[in-house]
Amino acid sequence: EAEVAQSPRYKITEKSQAVAFWCDPISGHATLYWYRQILGQGPELLVQFQDESVVDDSQLPKDRFSAERLKGVDSTLKIQPAELGDSAMYLCASSLGTGGWETQYFGPGTRLLVL
Amino acid sequence: QKEVEQDPGPLSVPEGAIVSLNCTYSNSAFQYFMWYRQYSRKGPELLMYTYSSGNKEDGRFTAQVDKSSKYISLFIRDSQPSDSATYLCAMKGDSGGSNYKLTFGKGTLLTVNP
């Protein structure tokens, strides 16, 4: 069964350092999402791509976060510089499209701890 | 007030019990309602998907949506220790509108004791 792949699974960094997360969606899925899940909360959308284009990045803190999906397949989310409040699970999801019935499939996530 | 409210629990039940999980929401534009299950340190996986009002059953799981009350439920019959996880409700409106983003509840932590 096809799955969304993410790496690394865990990342510990010091504040002010740069970190990057990678996501490989299910093959053929045009839509890719990055979510942040703080402990005890539901996931919140950071950025959504349709192929290589950003559809929604309204909740992405653009002063420190950036995301790209250059060839419309895999994607990278970067934080620079990391802050203590960035400690969270970063989840990648993908779907075939954006229609109402489209199911989002989530990866295992990257757990980030900023010290 | 958040758009989606979900009691975080924790909820602890004996094996074999019927579990009821609930969410309320405030945005009347939501049309698609989902329940995700998330095991510790894993990503969410889709359990149930319902459009508009009504019931949907899948094995031991039943999802109910009451749009008039803005209330959704997930029932788990004959609960098993393997059902121990966090259950997240999620919902969205039609694509193309401003409510197309998936909005999650906080999740309810369920433990089923053998």
CA angle B73, B79, B82 (to 5 degrees): 110
- pLDDT reading at B97 higher than 70: no
The pLDDT value recorded for residue B1 is: 66
Other Cβ atoms less than 10 A from the Cβ of B25: the count is: 22
Average pLDDT, chain B: 92
Mutate to test the interface with A, among B38, B49, B86, B87 (most CBs of A within 10 A): B38
- Cα B67 from Cα B30, distance rounded (Å): 9
Q: Within an 8 Å CB–CB cutoff, is residue B44 touching chain A? A: yes
Cβ–Cβ below 8 Å for B46 and A44: no
Token output for A85: 């409040």
How would you class A6 by CB atoms within 10 Å of its CB: exposed for 0-12, middle for 13-18, buried for 19 or more?
buried
How far away is chain B from the Cα of A66, in angstroms, using its nearest Cα?
20
Quote the CA–CA distance of B89 and B78 in Å, as a whole number: 21
pLDDT at residue B84 is higher than 80 = yes
What's the start-to-end Cα distance of chain B, in Å? 37
pLDDT mean over B79-86: 97
Over residues B15-27, the mean pLDDT reads 96
CA angle B102-B107-B112, nearest 5°?
140
Q: Of B105, B102, B83, B106, give the one whose Cα is nearest residue B94.
A: B102
> How high is the pLDDT of residue B8?
83
